[in-house]
């Protein structure tokens, strides 16, 4: 099985690196100094899952695509706002019976992929470990909260179940806990309940997750974010394991935050590097769905506006055209 990891940033490099070190046929796709360092000096992985120097990993950049090979699986790890462009760019590299799997933050990614690849060849994954790129060519695994869960975009039109099950097995064998589920949506929404309170507040206050929960006023805001998101999920018919939002909060404060207490949100890292954030695929999409359903999402809307304002304030030339109201 040939696997392309499209978007070899922090998470993509860890996924691709672990598959490669176990002997699987992996190619990393991306651009910039990080990929060039991997190509010339190898990939260094450090952190809680061990230290590895991985040399001779195959890499491709956009200019290489016309001559690139085709792949059974494309693991898409780009930022959510680049999903449609990336799916369009890499679609010609997917074999006729292949599958493209979103390993991304937020909601709406599978819909964008399916518009290019097709419903039956689109899948998603709940990824809830943390990583960062401290230097080009190096990734550090910082925290781990739970297993990767992989499942199809549509249960009734799942043309690649066997391939998705095999991908979960390959990841598990490589050392990244993973499993397949016929219905991935409850897991994606559970990650929303986790990301939507933590990402924007970490970016606003420049605090780790563990530092955030030490402030009772911040905790109150996080509670309200989850309450709104849970109401939207229930109205959309998502079958969640928590009947009441407080049941999730019990898990959130007792297990999920403590296991990722030292993590600095990817949204904070994006802000510090002058990049656009994924706020529209997180709190922003909660607001969008809430508006469509007639559900009030004022706290999520306020956080989304603050993050967009921060983007605009720090980077007006690059982001001015991307600021839009909720």
Q: How many CB atoms lie within 10 A of CB 65?
A: 13
Q: Compute the residue count for the chain.
A: 326
**Catalytic hit among 79, 191, 234, 276:** 191
Q: Give dist(CA 157, CA 152) in Å, integer.
A: 8
Token pair for 85? 């462009």
Residues 6 or more apart whose Cβ sits within 8 Å of residue 190: 126, 240, 241, 248
Of 135, 137, 105, nearest to 273 by C-alpha is 135
The three-point CA angle 253-254-256 to 5° equals 70
- The number of C-alpha atoms within 13 Å of 289 and in the hemisphere containing its C-beta is 23
Locate the DSSP E strands across the chain.
Answer: 2-6, 25-29, 43-47, 52-54, 58-60, 71-76, 94-102, 122-126, 129-135, 138-144, 148-152, 178-180
CA pair distance 192, 230, nearest whole angstrom = 9
> Quick check: is 156 catalytic?
no
| Catalytic (active-site) positions | 191
């Amino acid at each position: 099985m040939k696997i392309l990891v499209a978007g070899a940033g922090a998470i993509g490099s860890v996924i691709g690196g672990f598959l490669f070190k176990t002997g699987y046929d992996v190619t990393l796709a991306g651009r910039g100094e990080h990929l060039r360092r991997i190509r010339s000096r190898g990939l260094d992985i450090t952190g809680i899952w061990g230290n590895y120097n991985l040399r001779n990993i195959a890499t491709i950049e956009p200019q290489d695509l016309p001559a690139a090979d085709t792949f059974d699986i494309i693991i898409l790890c780009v930022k959510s706002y680049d999903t449609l462009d990336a799916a369009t760019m890499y679609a010609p590299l997917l074999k006729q019976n292949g599958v493209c799997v979103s390993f991304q933050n937020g909601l709406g990614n599978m819909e964008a992929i399916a518009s290019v690849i097709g419903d039956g060849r689109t899948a998603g994954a709940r990824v809830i470990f943390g990583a960062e790129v401290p230097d080009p060519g190096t990734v550090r695994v910082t925290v781990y909260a739970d297993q990767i869960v992989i499942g199809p975009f549509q249960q009734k039109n799942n043309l690649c179940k066997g391939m998705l099950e095999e991908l979960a097995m390959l990841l598990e064998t490589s050392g990244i806990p993973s499993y397949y589920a016929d219905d991935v949506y409850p897991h994606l929404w559970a990650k929303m309940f986790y990301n939507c309170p933590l990402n924007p507040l970490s970016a606003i206050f420049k605090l780790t997750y563990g530092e955030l929960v030490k402030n009772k006023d911040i905790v109150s805001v996080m509670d309200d974010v989850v309450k709104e998101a849970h109401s939207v999920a229930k109205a959309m018919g998502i079958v969640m394991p928590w009947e009441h939002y407080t049941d999730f909060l019990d898990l959130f404060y007792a297990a999920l935050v403590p296991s990722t207490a030292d993590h600095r949100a990817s949204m904070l890292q994006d802000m510090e590097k002058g990049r656009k954030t994924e706020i529209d695929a997180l709190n922003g999409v909660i607001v969008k769905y809430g508006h469509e359903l007639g559900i009030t999402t004022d706290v999520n809307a306020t956080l989304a506006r603050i993050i967009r304002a921060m983007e605009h304030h720090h980077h007006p030339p690059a982001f001015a055209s991307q600021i839009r109201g909720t």
